[in-house]
């Protein structure tokens, strides 16, 4: 019988090798990153959160970033032992990724406007 821990490690390894839109990486329920888009070796991710109120947060989708998949998973990897310091909840944030995809031109326009002010 496979332990829950071993299953969690297996699933995290599987999603590091084949990330999916909406994958939510966390560490002890602390949000780390959400995968917004997968384009071959490139991922669009969001690491930044914003508070909604004292007890709630949401991903700050105006701060997405493009990164090569191997760079993200090197960052999430332990340096001295095999495995990852964060775990994946497969496609847990699929609705968030879908919302970003449907509205990304709006997010990009806001980001470009803010950068133009700097």
Read off the pLDDT of residues 6-49 as tens digits, 9 standing for 90 and up: 999 999 999 999 999 999 999 988 999 999 999 999 999 999 99
**DSSP per-residue codes, 36-82:** EEEETTEEEEE--EEEEETTEEEE-GGGEEEEEHHHHHHHTB-SSSS
3-class DSSP state of 25 = strand
Is residue 112's pLDDT more than 90? no
Confidence at 99, pLDDT banded by 50, 70, 90:
very high
For the residues 76-100, what does the mean pLDDT come to?
A: 95
Global pTM value = 0.86
Is residue 106's pLDDT more than 80? no
In this prediction, residue 92 carries a pLDDT of: 97
């Amino acid at each position: 019988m496979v332990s829950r821990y071993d299953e969690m490690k297996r699933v995290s390894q599987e999603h590091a090798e084949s990330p999916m839109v909406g994958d939510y990486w966390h560490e002890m329920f602390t949000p780390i990153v959400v995968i917004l888009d997968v384009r071959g070796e490139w991922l669009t991710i969001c690491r930044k959160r914003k508070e909604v109120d004292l007890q709630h947060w949401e991903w700050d989708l105006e701060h997405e970033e493009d990164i090569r998949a191997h760079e993200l998973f090197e960052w999430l990897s332990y340096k001295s032992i095999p495995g990852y310091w964060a775990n994946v909840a497969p496609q847990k944030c699929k609705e968030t990724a879908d919302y970003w995809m449907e509205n990304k031109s709006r997010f990009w326009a806001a980001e470009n406007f803010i950068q133009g002010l700097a």
